[in-house]
Each structure stands twice: as structure tokens, then as C-alpha cells.
Chain A
Amino acid sequence: QQQVKQSPQSLIVQKGGISIINCAYENTAFDYFPWYQQFPGKGPALLIAIRPDVSEKKEGRFTISFNKSAKQFSLHIMDALPGDSATYFCAGRKASPKFYFGSGTKLNVKP
């Protein structure tokens, strides 16, 4: 069963717009939630991460919002740039160091 569910599957935004990608998890044992960015032909690269004792984390144009009671978290990309066009994966981790990834969101930023 998929432990982390991600939506939407794809997203198109204009340059300068805001992108929001949502994830939901079932297992309350998750203690770490990273977001990864992946370009075609490359491995995923860590973008930003959050722990469940924090409701929001911002790094530059990227913000994670975390709702522990709803078991949901989201990635907000502000002032989107064409270079942000990539696939974004959320993930969760339990006590074991392995990550459970969402199915990905393909973002296309139009110039």
C-alpha cells in the first residue's frame, strides 16, 4: 500500500506564479518529511525537509507547510521560474532510515 500519497500528478504554472503540491501520509510514526527535486536523467536532489514538531519551514522561494493533525504537508514554490520545471517527490520516514516516496508531481513552468 502507498504510505505517502501525492497530488496533483502534474502542474502547469506561469513564470512568477505559485505552485502548491500536496502530500498525505497514514503512518503517525513518520518523523521526517523531505521533498526532493528530480530533473530528467538525474537522481533526486534534496530540496527542503521538515520534522513534525514544526508547522512551517521556508528556504528561499520554497516553503513546507505541515499539518500534523490532518497528516498532510505541502510544498509551496513562490515566484516560479522555468528552471523549476522538474518532478517533485515528497517522502516520509519512520524509525528505519528508509524513505517512502510519493508518486511525484511533474511541474512545468511556462515562460
Chain B
Amino acid sequence: DTGVSQNPRHKITKRGQNVTFRCDPISEHNRLYWYRQTLGQGPEFLTYFQNEAQLEKSRLLSDRFSAERPKGSFSTLEIQRTEQGDSAMYLCASSWPLQTTSTDTQYFGPGTRLTVL
């Protein structure tokens, strides 16, 4: 399967614990995005990378959140001192921007569902 993969698919943690999620994008894609989706809502942008550079971060991404893409391939999203409000689906997407058409289609992974008790 050459799509976007995310691990783990589910994570249950206690409030105050740290969690880390991994995303493996489609191999030739140089842009990678993180979104958060709560129940009954559309995905909300968190941050994106072009290669290894983190180019934009949402105000939703508090100091407890950090994302990395050290070699421009896979990415990790860490949440420190989790809170119950962090419970959500965390989605990763990747894209290969087409310079001529600028459509930059984003392909999403299956997500990691985080439950904070």
C-alpha cells in the first residue's frame, strides 16, 4: 500500500502523560500536514512541512504540541502533558505540489484516534 500511513491507529492515555504519533507520507511527496478532527467537525489545520522545514503553525498548536520531520520523510507529532480536550482524531496528509496547476492535492492517512482519560 503506497498511501499515507499513521501509527498507532488508536491511543488511550491518562491526563498528564506524553504521547507521540507517527506519519509516513506517500514517498515522493515533499509536503506533509497535520490536522485535528473532533467528533462531528471537519479537520482543522495544525501545521505543515515542506521537506524538513516547518513552514506554518496554527494557533491551535499550543506549546504542549511539537511536530518534527527530521529527514524530510516521516513526521512525528508529540503532545506533552495531555489534557482531556486533546481527545480527537489526528490526521496526517501529504502532497506533491504541482507548480503549473497549483492544485496541491492532499492525501490523508487513516488518522490516530487519541482518547485522554
Contact = CB atoms under 8 A, between A and B. Distances in A.
B104 A46 contact: no
A75 interface: no
Interface stretch (B14-22, B63-71, B75-83, B95-103): B95-103
B104 A44 contact: no
Contacts, number: 60
B74 interface: no
Contact of A103 (B40, B93, B103, B109): B40
B108 A45 contact: yes
A49 B108 contact: no
Contacts of A96: 56
Interface in A3-60: 4, 6, 31-32, 34, 36, 41-46, 49, 51
A62 interface: no
A61 interface: no
A109 interface: no
B104 A89 contact: no
Given A43-B111, A45-B108, A49-B103, A101 B31 contact: no
Interface in A87-107: 89, 91, 93, 96-104
Contact of A49 (B45, B97, B105): B105
B42 A103 contact: yes
B108 A32 contact: no
A102 B42 CA distance: 6
Interface of A: 4, 6, 31-32, 34, 36, 41-46, 49, 51, 89, 91, 93, 96-104
Interface of B: 4, 31, 33, 40-45, 48, 56, 58, 91, 93, 95, 97, 102-111
7 closest A-B pairs (Cβ-Cβ)? A101-B42, A43-B108, A98-B45, A89-B42, A44-B108, A43-B110, A101-B43
